[in-house]
Amino acid sequence: MDIKKQFKEGLVTQNPVLVQLLGMCSTMAITTVFFNGVGMGISVLIILTCSNIVISALRKVIPDSIRIACFVVVIATFVTIVDLMLQAFIPALADSLGVFIPLIVVNCIILGRAEAFCYKNGVAASAADGVFQGIGYTWVLVVMCLVREFLGNGTILGGLSFLNDGQGIRILPEGVGALGISLPVGGFLVLACLIAFMQWVLSRDKGKKTEEVAK
Amino acid sequence: MSDMNLVLFGLLVMGGLGLLFGAVLAFAARVFAVEVDPREEAIIGCLPGANCGGCGFPGCAGYAAAVVKGEAPVNRCAAGGGPVADQIAEIMGVSADAAVRMVAQVHCTGCGVDHQKYQYIGVEDCVAAARLPGGGPLGCDYGCLGMGSCEKVCPFDAIHVHSGVAKVDEDKCKACNQCVDICPRHIIALEPYKTKKHVTIPCSSHDKGPAVTKVCSNGCIGCALCAKSCPKEAITMVNNLAVIDYDKCVGCGICAQKCPRKLITVDGKVPEPKPAAPKAAPTAEAKTQE
């Protein structure tokens, strides 16, 4: 497996949020404050990598007809472990992410990668896939958080307890932010703009390549 | 046969995975265990679990957490009342004798229902009627509109409109604040309820005397006779309306005797002026001597 290709796929061309459009629920719900986005992204990254490794290791043992049930058992285990860890070490983050941590069990990204990649590929490739797809998810969440927090609340880097008591750095004066951007409708708008930008970049690259080929 | 093998193999794999990851999780739960104050769970156990929000906290679990943190008193649970307060007090190791039962009281006698500004034909709902010009059809600007918004919102069937005015059934009332919140006239309030000698001034009018007498047969005219006669100085005049401070009131009923409008009630009744007068004085003395 070509690790460079995997890297590019995870972050850009097969980005789980912007291209595969998986895991929309958590993307809309938690990308309001910077720290939430980072926390959620890293949680998914850890769970995705661990479950990818275990599922690809077990792929010869798991019978075809009950594979989905087996995937869910593996994923649920790691989600529970991460949930317990967050509650033990970062209770503030566990509170603000709330039910979206347990909901990672049914997050399409992880089940989707298990079905589409790990069930067909080796352990090392699956681990790399988990890391890159996880980073792809995380960077989109972080960008959405930055945009939504800035436009909706007028601050950046909110939720970090050591920074201004979790209030973030205020850029716009209080009351100027558009509340709608913090609500789910704003999430859809920001995501749509990101996807449009992504498609524009991808099609431009494609256009360049075809021109080169033509030359 | 191969089908059978598949089933058995599937069972074996799922069972094995379940066992393996079960063990992993048992280990993880031990390693990352969060210590929860056992008192919190004990308190949740003795709360009614209705999550009514009457205590002002988000549900029973929220209240239990606040009690353990010391942010809430043990007697806040309106639905559970005294017995639950006692149990929580025992868990927290404090005494619950401060537990005073609160009961909603409607501060209107409804004696102004005959004085209507205009005829109201519309939705039978106080909130809707109160939006009309003049704040509804009632002559008195402060009184009960009697359309039963409180009756509809009460989850305990404890408040009913009788002949144009809402009355609280003290036995059923759980002090959940729902009627207090919905009343557009803001004439319902929670009062500490004493099973004996509970004195109330059922009027909310801040109008001056002549204005009150025009629209109501026994509303408070702000004469302040009750305030002057109270031996405990428990009654104060607030903007032409007598208001009782229940921390000071001993339930002697002297104010009820003096009220020229026969408005003030003791245990829900207006005391008879002559036979009750000599009785009320000694009970007040007995109370003070205690």
What number of CA atoms fall less than 13 Å from residue A38's CA on the CB side? 11
Which chain A residues have a beta carbon less than 8 Å from that of B5? none
Alpha-helical segments (H) within B172-269:
178-182, 209-215, 225-229, 254-258
At B89 the pLDDT is: 83
Which chain B residues have a beta carbon less than 8 Å from that of A73? 14, 17-18, 21
Q: How far apart are CA B223 and CA A136, in angstroms?
A: 76
List Cα–Cα distances, B273 to B225, B226, B260, B278, in angstroms.
15, 14, 10, 10
- Quick check: B21 and A77 CB within 8 A? yes
Residue A26 near residue A43, CB atoms below 8 Å: no
At B9 the pLDDT is: 86
With a cut of 90, say whether residue A35 has pLDDT above it: no
The alpha carbon of residue B206 and the mean position of all alpha carbons in its chain are separated, in whole angstroms, by: 23
- Computed on alpha carbons and rounded to an integer, the radius of gyration of chain B in Å comes to 28
At B120 the pLDDT is: 84
Residue matched to tokens 């959405």: A144
B6, B13, B32 member nearest A61 (Cβ): B13
Instruction: Calculate what percentage of chain A has a pLDDT beyond 70.
Output: 97
Contacts of A196 (CB under 8 A, 6+ apart): none
Q: Which amino acid is at B63?
A: Y
**pTM score, two decimals?**
0.58
| Rounded mean pLDDT, B122-141 | 83
At A203 the pLDDT is: 87
Among A30-44, A65-79, A124-138, B104-118, which is the least confidently predicted range?
B104-118
- Quick check: A70 and B25 CB within 8 A? no
Instruction: Calculate what percentage of chain B has a pLDDT beyond 90.
Output: 4
Distance of residue B207 Cα from the nearest chain A Cα, in angstroms: 40
* A88 interface with B at CB cutoff 8 Å: yes
Among A121-125, A130-134, B164-168, which is the least confidently predicted range?
B164-168
Q: How far apart are CA B274 and CA B290, in angstroms?
A: 26
* B10 interface with A at CB cutoff 8 Å: yes
For the stretch B37-68, pLDDT in tens is: 788 888 888 888 878 777 778 888 888 888 88
Q: Which amino acid is at B149?
A: S
Residue A119 near residue A80, CB atoms below 8 Å: no
At B196 the pLDDT is: 66
Assign 3-class secondary structure to B121-138: CCCCCHHHHCCCHHHCCE
Instruction: Calculate what percentage of chain B has a pLDDT beyond 70.
Output: 90
pLDDT-derived band at B1, boundaries 50, 70, 90: low
- Quick check: A74 and B25 CB within 8 A? no
At B194 the pLDDT is: 67
- Quick check: B13 and A62 CB within 8 A? yes
* B23 interface with A at CB cutoff 8 Å: no
Beta bridge partners of B199: B266
At B276 the pLDDT is: 43
B10, B21, B33 member nearest A66 (Cβ): B10
Residue of A nearest to B14 (CA): A70
At B283 the pLDDT is: 46
Q: How far apart are CA B99 and CA B69, in angstroms?
A: 19
Distance of residue A25 Cα from the nearest chain B Cα, in angstroms: 25
| Rounded mean pLDDT, B8-36 | 88
- Quick check: B32 and A84 CB within 8 A? yes
pLDDT-derived band at B96, boundaries 50, 70, 90: low
At A194 the pLDDT is: 92
Which chain B residues have a beta carbon less than 8 Å from that of A87? 32, 34
Higher pLDDT, A159 or B220: B220
- Quick check: B25 and A77 CB within 8 A? yes
What are φ and ψ of residue B116, in 5° steps? -100, 145
With a cut of 70, say whether residue B273 has pLDDT above it: no
